[in-house]
Amino acid sequence: MATTDDYYAVLGVDRRATPDEIKKAFRRLTREWHPDRHPDDPEVALRYRRINEAYNTLGDAARRAKYDMSQRLEGIELRKGFDGRSARDLLGNVFGDVFGTRRDRRRRGRDLRYTLSVSFAEAVLGSEHDIEFEAPGPCSACAGSGTRPGGRPPQTCTVCGGKGEIKGEGLLSRRSACGRCSGTGLVQPDPCQECRGRGTRRQTRSFRVRLPPGTDAGAERVLEGEGEPGRYGGKAGDLKVTVNVSPHRWLRRKGDEIHCEVPLSISEAARGGKIPVPTVDGLVDVDVPKGVRTGTRLRLRGKGVPAAKGKGRGDQLVTVVIETPVLSGSPAVAEAIDALEAACEAAPASLPRRLEMRKALGDNE
Ligand SMILES: [Zn+2]
Ligand SMILES: [Zn+2]
């Protein structure tokens, strides 16, 4: 990875820079990009490392001479079967956003992402949430301009001439983001003291997010312009809120329907009656018909997912499951089951399906 870095560009100095100029540039950059000054910013740490790496080579006469030579050789080798685009992509990948070269000086702020976890009912019925997090926001001291109040406005970078990138030597000219202006082509002659000319500072940012009824897991709400502020008049990024829905203990969503299973005892199923069923609106007493079977589906109209535009609502489907009693640990239940079985044997028509099958099997024997 180090070999694809243009050390001169990293330090923002000319190829013919004197050792003194290199040292000065290094000192200035390490002051500006010291990780202690920008805690929690991994890009800064990466950049700081590259600055040191570059100086380690260019700050030493012998290593610098070797580096200059290797760059020239590399340029020649790359020329064989040269494909401009892949070489460019390679650099682009290496530099990524930190050192990415751009023609436009205005820099759009990065998008911020936030995952909002909500309950099943909050997603289905719609809800409002106040979220708060630490993120870069406009610096209050300079109103996001990066310029000290009363200071001179940003000026064209003298190292790259405002291009934001520096061209290397040779026929194959590699380009690298200018280290003096971070590839923006502009420098702050009078940087704001609070944000060191970046125009942004980490701060607590809070928003209210509205989820409409019928919100599904994975849905994204975009709060335009609420991401990281732009630089040099660039647009602010967006705040993208992704909705994470916690699974419900009993309820499952299928399109605009909500499904659930309701276990019934043998006697509840045999006698029927009102059974409490969970819904997103709370418990609802549902009429279960006498003699209901396992697998029977009951429809609760209007207890499903509301349509996005507020027109109507889906249903909830309740699947009945007869729960077999567990006998271990309860002699009373075991006795009652014995008694139930004895009574059913005496009155075979009380279990008509079993009776039918037994008869059919008996006839075949
Ligand atoms: Zn500021
Ligand atoms: Zn520059």
Which regions of the chain does DSSP assign to beta strands (E)?
Answer: 112-118, 127-138, 155-156, 165-167, 175-177, 186-187, 200-211, 220-223, 239-245, 252-254, 257-264, 273-279, 282-288, 297-300, 316-322
Do 268-324 and 1-100 have the same topology in CATH? Answer: no
Domain 268-324 matching CATH 2.60.260.20: the answer reads: yes
pLDDT digits (tens, 9 = 90+) for 254-272: 999 999 999 999 999 999 9
- Ligand of minimum distance to the alpha carbon of 199: 1
Measured distance CA(242)–CA(254) in Å, rounded: 20
How remote is the CA of residue 188 from the centroid of ligand 2, in Å? Answer: 11
How remote is the CA of residue 288 from the centroid of ligand 2, in Å? Answer: 76
Angle at 64 between CA 34 and CA 51, to 5 degrees: 15
Residue 46 CA to its chain's centroid (Å): 22
Unique residue bearing structure tokens 């279990």: 351
Q: Domains of the chain: which residue ranges?
A: 1-100, 268-324, 327-365
Write out the residues surrounding ion ligand 1, Cβ under 5 A.
139, 141-142, 192, 194-195
pLDDT, position 72 = 63
pLDDT digits (tens, 9 = 90+) for 206-231: 999 999 999 999 999 999 999 988 88
Which DSSP helix (H) or strand (E) runs through 346?
helix 331-346
- Ligand of minimum distance to the alpha carbon of 148: 1
How remote is the CA of residue 136 from the centroid of ligand 1, in Å? Answer: 12
How remote is the CA of residue 241 from the centroid of ligand 1, in Å? Answer: 27
How remote is the CA of residue 53 from the centroid of ligand 1, in Å? Answer: 29
pLDDT, position 274 = 96
Q: What is this structure's pTM?
A: 0.61
- Ligand of minimum distance to the alpha carbon of 105: 2
pLDDT digits (tens, 9 = 90+) for 99-155: 334 445 677 888 999 999 999 999 999 999 999 999 988 899 998 888 998 999 889
- Ligand of minimum distance to the alpha carbon of 198: 1
Measured distance CA(10)–CA(160) in Å, rounded: 12
Measured distance CA(298)–CA(73) in Å, rounded: 78
How remote is the CA of residue 183 from the centroid of ligand 2, in Å? Answer: 6
pLDDT, position 251 = 97
Residue 168 CA to its chain's centroid (Å): 38
Look at 210 and 40; give whichever has higher pLDDT.
210
User: Contact, 9 vs 182, CB < 8 A?
Assistant: no
* DSSP β-bridge partners for residue 165: 177
Collapsed DSSP state (helix, strand, coil) of residue 15:
coil
Whether pLDDT at 193 is above 70: yes
**For residue 248, what is the DSSP state?**
P
Give the architecture-level CATH label for domain 1-100.
Orthogonal Bundle (1.10)
Collapsed DSSP state (helix, strand, coil) of residue 141:
coil
Picking from 158, 192, 143, 132, the residue whose alpha carbon sits closest to that of residue 25 is 158
